[in-house]
């Protein structure tokens, strides 16, 4: 057997090592490819889910905006129906007063004419007996007879007046019947529009259930603020501070997300394909886009002067600056006496800052507007909006109590200080209230 040289031996050892090397290396080629494919599929699914959620939240936002605008239209129709119904009822009341006055006048005139006619009838049938049996002296009896005969034209005139008043009474009663029919029709139309409103509000509630978690934390904090605040001014100040804190937190989270995304993109090699950002959970995505409206996004409140609708249909009973019933404290707002169950609307675009009972005010609703303005509505029977919700001008926010003639207390504040709300409100004729 030929002998191997050292060089040949070394080459043999090297060949043996190379031949055995695959058995010693990790068996990762196929597994790595499968893992890479799975990762790519997960990323694709994440991107698809992110796009789906983005489209879903955009669709939800559009639906809520569309419903809000429909609510504004229906609420306006309801308030118009309430106003027309109030006018009809007032007219019916006036006709009732007119009818009572006519009936009283006719009763008095009827009694007077009855006495005169009875005397004339006796004189006409038996004039001699009337004079003979008269307790008066003959001269006086003759004069009485002459006066009675002279009174005939006056009696005839009174009879014609009586006939005219009877005709007027019949007209008034016919008018009252027509007014009652209009009132009934108006009430039926009002009920129908209220049902339409309830359907729209149900649709809004169903969509808002999906983002209710976004409101729950803010609502809890606002309720605590309401319990701790000593008066309305302190409550408004606390609510403003809380809103500023929430907006600052939202900006901070947004900045953190942008910085994290920038850092992630910076860490990707230049020749690598950027990965899509991880899909956010559905609730988090909606919270960022739907539940955090900003005051800065609202229309300027200062441009609303003289054009804001009254929050409820009714008559102003207590005005700004008037002394209260005890003659002490000055009224910081206005009182609007309205109808039972009347619709209450937002007077201008804003964000609901507070909704709930508050120290002697009953159910209180505070809407924050831009430029440091707040509208306060107190005395509602029901509130139909939630803390943090954005509302449009004219959008329904609640209803008054049922029964009697409830009163809505309205305050307008700027930077926490009350201002007269009437110059900001428009009358139903389109002119501002001074």
Asked if the model's pLDDT at residue 89 lies above 90, the reply is: no
Digit-coded pLDDT (tens) for 351-397: 998 998 887 888 999 999 999 999 999 999 999 888 888 899 999 99
Per DSSP, 383 falls in state E
Mean pLDDT for 178-201 is 81
Residue 255 lies in a domain: no
**Crossing angle of helices 212-228 and 232-266, rounded to 10°:** 140
Runs of H (alpha helix) within 126-211: 127-133, 138-209
Digit-coded pLDDT (tens) for 240-250: 888 788 778 77
Q: Which residue has the higher pLDDT, 52 or 289?
A: 52
Q: Which residue has the higher pLDDT, 229 or 322?
A: 322
The answer on 65 and 160 residing in a single domain is yes
Domain stops at, among 209, 240, 273: 209
Asked if the model's pLDDT at residue 288 lies above 50, the reply is: no
Q: What is the pLDDT of residue 107?
A: 76
Residue 21 lies in a domain: no
**CATH number, domain with residue 91:** 1.10.287
| Lowest-confidence segment of 27-31, 236-240, 273-277 by average pLDDT | 273-277
Asked if the model's pLDDT at residue 125 lies above 80, the reply is: no
Q: How far apart are the first and last CA of the chain?
A: 126
Q: What is the pLDDT of residue 20?
A: 45
The answer on 177 and 75 residing in a single domain is yes
The answer on 205 and 305 residing in a single domain is no
The answer on 202 and 298 residing in a single domain is no
Q: Which helix (H) or strand (E) holds 337?
A: strand 334-338
Residue 2 lies in a domain: no
The answer on 300 and 180 residing in a single domain is no
Instruction: Tell me if 276 sits within 8 A of 46, measured CB to CB.
Output: yes
Total domains, the chain:
2
Task: Note down the domain range covering 421.
Answer: 294-426
Residue 226 lies in a domain: no
**CATH number, domain with residue 354:** 2.70.70.10
The Cα–Cα gap between 57 and 74 comes to: 25
Residue 368 lies in a domain: yes
The answer on 200 and 65 residing in a single domain is yes
Among 388, 400, 385, smallest CA distance to 344 is for 400
Asked if the model's pLDDT at residue 151 lies above 90, the reply is: no
> What pTM value is reported for the model?
0.59
The answer on 310 and 205 residing in a single domain is no
Among 210, 200, 278, 199, smallest CA distance to 60 is for 210
**Structure token pair of residue 375:** 């509208």
Residue 228 lies in a domain: no
Instruction: Tell me if 336 sits within 8 A of 410, measured CB to CB.
Output: yes
């Amino acid at each position: 057997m030929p002998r191997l040289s050292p060089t040949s031996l070394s080459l043999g050892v090297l060949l043996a090592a190379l031949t055995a090397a695959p058995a010693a290396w990790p068996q990762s080629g196929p597994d790595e490819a499968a893992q890479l494919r799975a990762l790519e599929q997960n990323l694709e699914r994440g991107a698809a889910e992110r796009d789906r959620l983005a489209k879903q939240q955009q669709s939800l936002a559009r639906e809520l905006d569309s419903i809000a605008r429909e609510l504004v239209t229906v609420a306006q129709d309801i308030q118009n129906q309430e106003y027309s119904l109030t006018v009809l009822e007032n007219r019916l009341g006036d006709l009732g007063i007119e009818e009572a006055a006519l009936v009283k006048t006719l009763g008095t005139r009827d009694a007077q004419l009855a006495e005169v006619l009875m005397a004339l009838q006796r004189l006409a049938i038996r004039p001699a007996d009337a004079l003979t049996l008269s307790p008066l002296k003959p001269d006086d009896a003759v004069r009485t007879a002459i006066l009675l005969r002279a009174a005939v034209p006056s009696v005839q005139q009174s009879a014609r007046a009586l006939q005219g008043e009877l005709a007027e009474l019949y007209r008034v009663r016919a008018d009252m019947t027509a007014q009652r029919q209009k009132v009934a029709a108006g009430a039926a139309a009002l009920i129908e529009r209220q049902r339409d409103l309830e359907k729209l509000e149900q649709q809004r509630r169903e969509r808002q259930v999906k983002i209710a978690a976004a409101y729950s934390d803010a609502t809890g904090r606002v309720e605590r603020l309401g319990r701790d605040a000593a008066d309305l001014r302190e409550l408004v100040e606390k609510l403003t501070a809380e809103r500023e804190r929430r907006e600052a937190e939202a900006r901070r989270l947004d900045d953190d997300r942008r910085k994290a995304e920038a850092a992630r993109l910076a860490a990707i090699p230049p020749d690598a394909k950027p990965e899509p950002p991880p899909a956010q959970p559905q609730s988090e995505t909606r919270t960022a886009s739907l539940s955090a409206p900003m005051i800065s996004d609202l229309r300027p409140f200062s441009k609303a002067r003289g054009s804001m609708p009254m929050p409820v249909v009714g008559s102003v009973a207590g005005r700004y600056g008037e002394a209260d019933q005890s003659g002490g404290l000055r009224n910081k707002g206005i009182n609007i006496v309205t109808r039972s169950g009347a619709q209450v609307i937002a007077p201008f675009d804003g964000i609901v800052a507070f909704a709930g009972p508050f120290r002697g005010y009953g159910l209180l609703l505070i809407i924050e507007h831009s430029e440091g303005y707040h509208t306060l509505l107190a005395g509602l029977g029901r509130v139909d909006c939630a803390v943090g919700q954005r509302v449009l001008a004219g959008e329904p926010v609640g209803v008054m109590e049922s029964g009697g003639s409830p009163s809505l207390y309205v305050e307008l504040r700027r930077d926490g200080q009350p201002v007269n709300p009437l110059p900001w409100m428009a009358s139903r004729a389109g002119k501002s209230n001074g």
